[in-house]
Chain A
Amino acid sequence: MQNYPEQFSRTHKKFLQNLFPGRESSFDDGTLLACGVDASQRHAKPLALVRPQEIAQVVELLRWAHEERVPVYPRARATNKVGNCVPVRHGVVVSMLDMNEILDIDGRDFVAVTQPGVITADLQKAVEAQGLFYPPDPASMKISTIGGNISTCAGGMRAVKYGVTRDYVLGLEVILPGGEIIRTGGRTQKNVVGLDLTRLMVGSAGTLGLVTEATVKLLPLPETSASVLVGFKDLDGCLCGAEAVFGCGILPTAMELMDQNTIKALEIHSDVPWPAGTGGLLLLKIDGSAESVNTDLRRIEESLQAVAVTFVEKGSGADQERLWELRRVISPAAFNLASDKQGEDVAVPRGKVAKAIKGYHSIGTKLGLTVLCFGHLGDGNIHVSTMYNKSAGEQEKALEAKKKIFQLTLELGGTLSGEHGIGLTKAKYINMQLDKTQQRLMAGIKNAFDPLKIMNPGKVV
């Protein structure tokens, strides 16, 4: 393993303090520890925290870090769940949160240009005020940044119809190790010159360079939307319901599934609208013009008549947020079932979802653990949460479940992660999915960007 500094020399520290004066750099224990943890709950302590205010500082920082072989850990709101922000090789944590201005919203080019620290929901609000639309909507959109979303290629519930972050990034400004600035892509919707470095950067989790500006594609804001929450007796009913909706020729904006165990967790956590005996839920959203939404709603209702439902609730306008809030709180609500959670966000081809979920449940049953399945039925990205109690020594069993879940997923033609990535927590499973050749190519790409391995070392993308 490469050697990185365990301590900073006085010169190192002075350099950082000069480049990041006053509050822009910190070295005290409390601050360093606090910026070394993320939503994976893993943690490590860096040697410094810096908070760049402008590009010139980032350039100078990466020039210096490259020269001194100092690890650089980009950090935004640290909501990623795989340890991508954890400074396992110490070094410098670079908080991008102060670079948080929206630089341009252009209704003629249909683009927005933004700094990375802008909260995604704030960007959405700002473009919506001008009749425009930035569709990617991770459940964490109010608490995560556009820079973080780009670096993890965050996906949300609207992915069924609109795709994920990668589908909206047209151009990036990136500072490379050594301090060079590159501008990939641009403001055009089409661009086929050269290899697609923009897409390469998206989802690279801070391992290739630091994103300092992004140009994202916008759409016209759909006039209206409506949501329907439908309850079924069990999972089979739920999947039949989903088939029926797709069968009537509608591509919903979002189609989320919640299984029986998820329902149980929500019932403990929140006031829920469905009747007892509901064993599966579908949450649908459609958008478009007022007329088309009305027609689609009617068609959905008609298509569901052939399926046995326990309840149906519709919402439109602001009222539908009530329904979606239930979906957003699943992650935390799951802790009502056990003190520890091992969450996977595997994805399988849409036609394999039923088989996958049944398989995951039976893995849980065999090991005596509760397995929750919920998430993006519409695009096959299922969140599988294995709930266990560490204090009761169930960790081993949980790890076994993880491996089996991954195996089954890959057998069904799926992928280990549809949203959160590999990072620290899943690094050792990467060989299950990527063969030697692919890994060699990827290592070559990493080497071309970051030969000295200073960008987010210790992580797997």
Chain B
Amino acid sequence: MPAPKSCVQCGKCLEVCPLFKATGREELTPRAKFFLESICAGDDQGAGLSERDFKSLASLCLSCGRCEKNCPQHMSGPALVTDLRAKSKGFTQACWDLWLKNPGLLWPMAAVLSKFSPEILPEPFGSARKRMQALFSRSLEPWADLVPQAKFEERKVMLFKGCVGRYARKDWSIKAERLMDGMGLIRGEDADFSCCGSSYGSAGLLERRNNSRAKNIEVWKDAGRPLLVTFCATCLKGLREYSLADFAGDEELYESWQECLTPLSSLLLDAEVKLRENVPEQVAYHKPCHAPDDDTDQKLVGLIAAERMLPVQEGLCCGFGGIMQLGAPELSKEVGDYSLAQHTKCMKSGGQILSGCSACVIQLVSLVKDDYFAAHWLDILK
């Protein structure tokens, strides 16, 4: 991506920003963020806008990255927000810090938290377990079997479970490993990977992000540079974003890292699909903001669901938005509700919304109406 220049107020980002789409609030658009930034930095001393007000408005961003892709000037909302957060030591920031430091306890709380304002944040900590159960009580019955083809891969492989796979949905990790075994892949010893780092990054915790990256690279090198398999689009994106600097400028190592990152779904596109009787009538694929260009999760869901698959709607963001859960839970919910309304507009009762990103799944599961189901595609597999 070429270096950003400056915002020319053309308004192209309004076409894609999910916050604007769901709320219609112009002050939340990337265009507004950059304008407010420019006048805060300018001669007229913010023209009546306090720094605090600017920061709280500008940091409302879901880090979906759409603005940057669509902007002729390559302006990036997430980069602005990361920068703001990196420089701010506000309350929300501290909460987020706490949350990420204790992923075992708190990650599954992401969606539930969105129902609380930061002021009463401590409450849900106490009843984490109870709420966790509530969040996953409506899990769906698997309806497909995948018989993967053997893969002749000499390299070792390892599963990068991500925070959710490690602490909250261990069943996803178990299924993923079983599929890997089914392909005859040689799985390395379970290793202690850290968070992929992307959540730290968007929260502005750059030091912690860099530490995570360093740790993961270390573990991967020690394991003999295995293929790293992921089942979460955001983890994959987070891992792909490691920069040459994270590898101390070692280009060969960097290239090898990039080449090792493998979405689990990409290994399953030639699998044999067997459907059970309880197969749903309709399936929608929720395309995560962080999905790679070649979205093999979408392909896999399409392969399994075949004619049951509804046309994929581009441009819908689940609204999870990391730190926004804490700072502006209502907004996060509003965006999520908007997405679900679009997904279920033409969907019959009992329809399922599948995705390949842990954060999307958590958000959608917590907001979806009783008539429908939301799940990771791993959930539909026996």
Contacts and interface: CB of A to CB of B under 8 A. Distances in A.
Nearest to B58: A30
Given A31-B27, A79-B10, A329-B72, A37 B35 contact: yes
A320 B102 CA distance: 52
Interface in B38-59: 39, 47-50, 53-54, 57
A41 B39 CA distance: 11
B73 A29 contact: no
Interface in A123-145: 140, 142-144
A30 B35 contact: no
Given A23-B25, A43-B35, A332-B10, 16 more contacts: A29-B49, A30-B27, A30-B32, A30-B53, A31-B27, A34-B26, A34-B29, A34-B32, A34-B35, A35-B26, A39-B11, A77-B11, A78-B11, A143-B14, A332-B8, A333-B72
A101 interface: no
A229 interface: no
B343 to A, nearest CB: 19
Contact of B53 (A28, A40, A45): A28
A273 to B, nearest CB: 19
Contacts of A142: 15
Contact of B9 (A33, A37, A335): A37
A29 B53 contact: yes
Contacts of A327: none
A33 B49 contact: yes
B80 to A, nearest CB: 14
B48 A29 contact: yes
The binding surface of chain A is classed by DSSP as loop
A329 B74 CA distance: 13
A97 B9 CA distance: 17
Interface string A322-344: 00000001011101000100000
User: Number of contact residues on B: which range applies?
Assistant: 20 to 34
A318 to B, nearest CB: 15
Contact of A33 (B5, B11, B25, B36): B36
Interface of A: 23, 26, 28-31, 33-35, 37-41, 43, 45, 51, 77-79, 95, 97-98, 140, 142-144, 269, 329, 331-333, 335, 339
* Top 6 A-B residue pairs of the complex, sorted by shortest distance between their CB atoms: A332-B72, A34-B32, A34-B27, A30-B57, A31-B27, A79-B11
Contacts of A41: 8-9
Given A35-B27, A38-B9, A143 B73 contact: no
Contacts of B54: 30
Contacts of B73: 332, 335
B276 interface: no
A307 B50 CA distance: 62
Given A30-B54, A37-B35, A43-B35, A95 B26 contact: yes
A262 B379 CA distance: 52
B12 interface: yes
Contacts of B188: none
A153 B9 CA distance: 21
A51 B138 CA distance: 39
B24 interface: yes
Contacts of A269: 72
Interface in B41-90: 47-50, 53-54, 57, 72-73
